[in-house]
């Protein structure tokens, strides 16, 4: 069970990236954004779990470094999920011809 919660483990990194990629592809093809919202909620749950676990650690524990790595990877997954959500949400707005407040990803593509 510990392997499931260690998001900095190379096996879990691979599994999470493959799962996120599959959800992004399905969301893009179906032009629905709610699966990506569920992904971000799950990642937020991991982030909260790791933060609470870090808070409960004793000073000098050997697992503190591992939890910092898990939190860093959780934040990276959150960034990937957020950018994917903005991308798919833009596709949904164009498909349904909804008036968008602004181009959600223009700030991102202009910086790259």
Distance of CA 59 to the CA centre of its chain: 29
Choice between 95 and 25, residue whose per-residue pLDDT is larger: 25
Report pLDDT for 52: 92
Q: How big is the CA angle at 44 (ends 39 and 46), to the nearest 5 degrees? A: 95
Residue 95 has pLDDT above 80, yes or no: yes
Domain boundaries defined on the chain = 2-111
pTM score of the predicted model: 0.82
Residue 1 has pLDDT above 60, yes or no: no
Q: What is the pLDDT of residues 24-54, one digit of tens each?
A: 999 999 989 899 999 999 999 999 999 998 8
Report pLDDT for 40: 95
Q: Count CB neighbours of 67 within 10 A.
A: 21
When computed from its CA atoms, the radius of gyration of the chain, rounded to whole angstroms, is 17
The distance between the two most distant Cα atoms of the chain, rounded to a whole number of Å, is 56
Report pLDDT for 94: 81
Q: What is the pLDDT of residues 53-85, one digit of tens each?
A: 888 888 877 788 888 999 999 999 999 999 899
């Amino acid at each position: 069970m510990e392997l499931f919660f260690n998001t900095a483990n190379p096996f879990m990194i691979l599994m999470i990236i493959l799962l996120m990629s599959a959800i992004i592809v399905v969301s893009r093809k179906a032009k629905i954004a709610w699966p990506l919202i569920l992904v971000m909620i799950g990642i937020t749950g991991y982030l909260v779990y790791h933060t609470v676990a870090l808070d409960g650690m004793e000073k000098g524990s050997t697992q503190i470094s591992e939890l910092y790595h898990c939190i860093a990877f959780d934040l990276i997954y959150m960034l990937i999920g957020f950018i994917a959500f903005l991308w798919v949400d833009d596709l949904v707005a164009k498909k349904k011809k909804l008036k968008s407040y602004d181009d959600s990803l223009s700030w991102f593509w202009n910086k790259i």
